């Protein structure tokens, strides 16, 4: 399945899912040092939409502490590809995949 | 086992199960870019019926926040095939397999 | 161990176990389309008897929401064979193996 | 280690353990149909003694709902052999291994 | 590491650990039937000392229901060898490894 | 993805994540004894920033007991590389990866 | 990473971690019986410092029931090597790795 990039806003994530637009960054630092790839190298992306949060077994809601527009750092292998064109790529990731925000 | 497509309404999912009719979409975007398949590519489907929700160990019911008629995005490998004919395909999936709705 | 088919009523399932009589259905739809077997193909069966339900660690009972006589759809590989003759087959399955009822 | 069959009464199971005497049954039905062994084929046995039940993390006791003298149906590979002679075989099994009683 | 057999009393097990002296028994019954070893064959041992019991996550203590001097039946592969000489063998086992007592 | 070393302060870890600057130490002791590498050899690093702590299923916050500026000892294979240049290396690690502080 | 043996006191374990100085003991008993190594052979060590204890998900602290100066018996493969010289070896282990104390 794939969704048109310009239809991405029609996806409303549920539970602790988050739609992010991937902000590509070359894997070498500005002074040309290629990151040793033995360690996982995280991704950066902008939040397009967030789910309502996850319900515990007893039905209690744990909201997501992230908002639309924030830039987040998340796992290299995280998420599901839902839309892509020449210039942009969108993923569905989970809140648990996020390490931090980039301000 | 297989069920006649026109008998699909006779299936009443229990717990957090959901019956969906798969809405097939070609795997390339409108401008012909084939999605790189290394990542999982989710499916889209319309909800036919939802279970009552899952009971916790202590018997507390956690209802499903999805309704009949909604279009959902869910995992590529999710679910069990329960009915199929030339033009349609029905799966039994779990609420946990759903990433979001498509409105 | 095997039990005579006509002694099946002597089995009283405990906890969340259920005795079902398997209702065999050919794997192709009426118009001869063979179900692609890559996906799991669930089974259909009639409930003969249900256990009292499962006790949580703290001793609280979570009853089974299914009754004798209901037809259920359950996992292809679920259950234990307890009795069989030329025309019928009986399994012990768990409530968690059931996807839904067929009404 | 092995225990004399006539000393079996000296074993007091703890927690959710149960001592059973295995009641052997040939694996074919009376009309000679050999059970297809692809599925697990459960065992039948008579309860000799039951443990007091299992304590939860918080120390709450969950008693066993089975009694001495009942005949139970349990998993083919369940349990530990503790005593055996020419005519009888005794196992230590867990309550969770039991599918149902045979009345 | 090994501890002198005559220093075994200096070991104070913590949590749900138990020190046992293994009571060896030949693996054949008195009438010479060698136990089929396909099943696990449990061990028998005398309790030398027991730990105070295990604390749950919330700090609640679940005491051990076994006492010094009792003879217990426990798993064949359970425990850690802590002391041994020509005539005796001592193990550190966990309460969860014990199936029952032998009275 | 990689972040400029001088932008490291823009990363705000979430949940129980921590940004550390790795303080490299040769693997041999001052008197030249090379540590046998069969055991894991932990890393040392200075805390740059800590997340707010992790929320339990019921939404209760468990704060991190570590602060910016503390030097911590953590697992050899822990963490994700997020920034590096000729003289410094920054990782995102989890609180659970930390063994202790070095004062 | 390695720490000077004379700096070992600068390590403050967190959560349920414990710093121990390993007290080596030959693997044979005084009368020369080599311990059969098929079973795990635990280690003995003196406690140098203990962490504050582990916080449960709900933030409740479960303190460690062990103190500086006690000699403990712990798993053969437990822990992380943090400092070593010709005559001494220090490990970081977890409370769960400890079987008992040696008094």
- pLDDT, one tens digit for every residue, chain F (103 residues): 568 899 999 999 999 999 999 995 435 444 433 444 445 678 999 999 999 999 888 788 999 999 999 999 999 889 899 999 989 999 999 999 999 999 9
Q: What is the C-alpha to C-alpha distance for residues E100 and E75, in angstroms, rounded to an integer? A: 10
Q: What is the pLDDT of residues D2-25, one digit of tens each?
A: 688 999 999 999 999 999 999 954
Q: Is residue A29 part of a domain?
A: no
E67 in D contact zone (CB under 8 Å): no
ipTM value = 0.83
More confident residue, F93 or B2: F93
pLDDT at B30: 43
Q: What is the C-alpha to C-alpha distance for residues A10 and A33, in angstroms, rounded to an integer? A: 40
Q: Do C92 and D99 touch (CB under 8 A)?
A: yes
Mean per-residue pLDDT over chain C, rounded: 84
Q: Is residue A35 part of a domain?
A: no
Instruction: Report residue E29 CA to chain centroid gap.
Output: 22
B33 pLDDT band, cuts 50/70/90, is very low
pLDDT at F69: 97
Residue C76, sorted as left (phi over 0), alpha (psi -120 to 50) or beta, turns out to be alpha
More confident residue, A26 or E59: E59
Instruction: Report residue D81 CA to chain centroid gap.
Output: 10
pLDDT at B57: 81
G24 pLDDT band, cuts 50/70/90, is low
Point out the residue among C43, C65, C73 whose CB comes nearest to the CB of B11. C73
What value does the mean pLDDT take over residues D41-67?
A: 91
Q: What is the C-alpha to C-alpha distance for residues C42 and C48, in angstroms, rounded to an integer? A: 19
Which residues, 6 or more positions from A82, have their beta carbon under 8 angstroms from its beta carbon? A2, A3, A8, A11, A19, A90, A91, A92, B42, B73, B99
Q: What is the C-alpha to C-alpha distance for residues F1 and F4, in angstroms, rounded to an integer? A: 10
Residues facing residue F43 across a β-bridge: F74
What value does the mean pLDDT take over residues C47-70?
A: 92
CATH number at residue C78: 2.30.33.40
pLDDT at G12: 97
More confident residue, G6 or C47: C47
Q: What is the C-alpha to C-alpha distance for residues C37 and C30, in angstroms, rounded to an integer? A: 17
D76 pLDDT band, cuts 50/70/90, is confident
Chain A residue numbers touching B100 (CB-CB < 8 A): 11-14, 17, 19, 51, 92
pLDDT at F39: 56
pLDDT at E32: 38
Q: Are B62 and B94 in contact (CB under 8 A)?
A: no
pLDDT at F34: 42
B24 pLDDT band, cuts 50/70/90, is low
Other chains touching B, judged by 3 or more CB pairs under 8 Å: A, C
Other chains touching E, judged by 3 or more CB pairs under 8 Å: D, G
Q: Do G58 and E58 touch (CB under 8 A)?
A: yes
Dmax (CA) of chain B: 52
CA angle C11/C15/C20 to nearest 5° reads 45
Instruction: Report residue A87 CA to chain centroid gap.
Output: 17
pLDDT at A10: 94
Q: Do G81 and F40 touch (CB under 8 A)?
A: yes
Q: What is the C-alpha to C-alpha distance for residues C2 and C90, in angstroms, rounded to an integer? A: 11
Instruction: Please give the radius of gyration of chain G, using alpha carbons only, rounded to the nearest integer.
Output: 15
Q: Is residue D94 part of a domain?
A: yes
Asked if D touches G (at least 3 Cβ pairs < 8 angstroms), the answer reads no
Least confident of C62-71, F93-102, G16-25: G16-25
Domain enclosing residue A46, as ranges: 5-24+40-101
More confident residue, A57 or A17: A17
pLDDT at E60: 86
Is G66's pLDDT higher than 80? yes
Q: Do C3 and D31 touch (CB under 8 A)?
A: no
Q: Do E82 and G42 touch (CB under 8 A)?
A: yes
Provide the Cα torsion E25, E30, E33, E35; round to 10°. -20
More confident residue, A32 or G42: G42
A41 pLDDT band, cuts 50/70/90, is confident
Instruction: Report residue F5 CA to chain centroid gap.
Output: 15
Q: Is residue E83 part of a domain?
A: yes
Q: Are F52 and F75 in contact (CB under 8 A)?
A: no
Q: What is the pLDDT of residues E21-50, one digit of tens each?
A: 999 543 544 443 344 444 567 899 999 999
Is B89's pLDDT higher than 80? yes
pLDDT at F56: 86
Q: Is residue E31 part of a domain?
A: no
- H/E segment holding residue A23: none
- H/E segment holding residue G47: strand G43-50
DSSP 8-class letter at B11? E
Helix, strand, coil content of chain F in percent (nearest 5): 10, 40, 50
Q: What is the C-alpha to C-alpha distance for residues F101 and F47, in angstroms, rounded to an integer? A: 10
Q: Are D23 and D15 in contact (CB under 8 A)?
A: no
CA-nearest of G40, G34, G43 to G73 is: G43
Q: Into how many domains does chain B fold? A: 1
Q: Are A100 and F92 in contact (CB under 8 A)?
A: yes
pLDDT at C31: 41
DSSP 8-class letter at D56? P
Q: Which regions in chain E score pLDDT beneath 70?
A: 1-2, 24-40
Mean per-residue pLDDT over chain G, rounded: 84
Q: Is residue D34 part of a domain?
A: no
Q: What is the pLDDT of residues C76-90, one digit of tens each?
A: 889 899 999 988 999
Closest residue, chain F, to G93 (C-alpha): F99
pLDDT at A40: 67
Encoding tokens for residue C77?
């590989």
Task: Please give the C-alpha separations between residue G66 and each of C31, D88, G44, G89, in angstroms, as whole numbers.
Answer: 73, 49, 14, 20
Local structure of C85: helix, strand or coil: coil
Encoding tokens for residue E102?
């032998």
Q: Is residue G6 part of a domain?
A: no
Is G40's pLDDT higher than 90? no
What value does the mean pLDDT take over residues G79-84?
A: 90
Q: What is the C-alpha to C-alpha distance for residues B45 and B40, in angstroms, rounded to an integer? A: 16
D32 in C contact zone (CB under 8 Å): no
Q: Do B40 and A84 touch (CB under 8 A)?
A: no
Least confident of A35-39, C68-72, E77-81, F86-90: A35-39
User: Could you report how far apart the first and last alpha carbons of chain C are, in Å?
Assistant: 33
Task: Please give the C-alpha separations between residue G26 and each of B100, E2, E25, F35, G86, in angstroms, as whole numbers.
Answer: 62, 7, 29, 21, 17
Q: Is residue A59 part of a domain?
A: yes
- H/E segment holding residue C40: none
Q: What is the C-alpha to C-alpha distance for residues C94 and B24, in angstroms, rounded to an integer? A: 33
Point out the residue among D35, D61, D103 whose CB comes nearest to the CB of C2. D35
More confident residue, B74 or E36: B74
Chain G residue numbers touching F61 (CB-CB < 8 A): 59
Q: List b or e across F48-84, with b for residues whose CB sees 16 or more CB atoms inside 10 angstroms.
A: bbbbbbbbeeeeeebebbbeeebbbbbbeebbbbbbb
Size of interface D-E (CB pairs under 8 A): 90
């Amino acid at each position: 399945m794939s969704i048109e990039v310009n239809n991405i806003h029609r996806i409303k994530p549920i539970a602790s899912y988050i739609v992010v637009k991937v902000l590509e960054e070359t894997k070498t630092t500005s002074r040309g040092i290629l990151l040793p790839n033995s360690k996982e190298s995280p991704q950066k992306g902008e939040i397009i939409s967030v789910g309502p949060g996850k319900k515990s077994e007893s039905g209690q809601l744990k909201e997501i502490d992230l908002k639309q527009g924030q830039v987040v750092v998340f796992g290299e292998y995280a998420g599901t590809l839902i839309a892509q064109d020449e210039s942009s790529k969108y993923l569905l990731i989970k809140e648990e995949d996020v390490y931090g925000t980039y301000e």
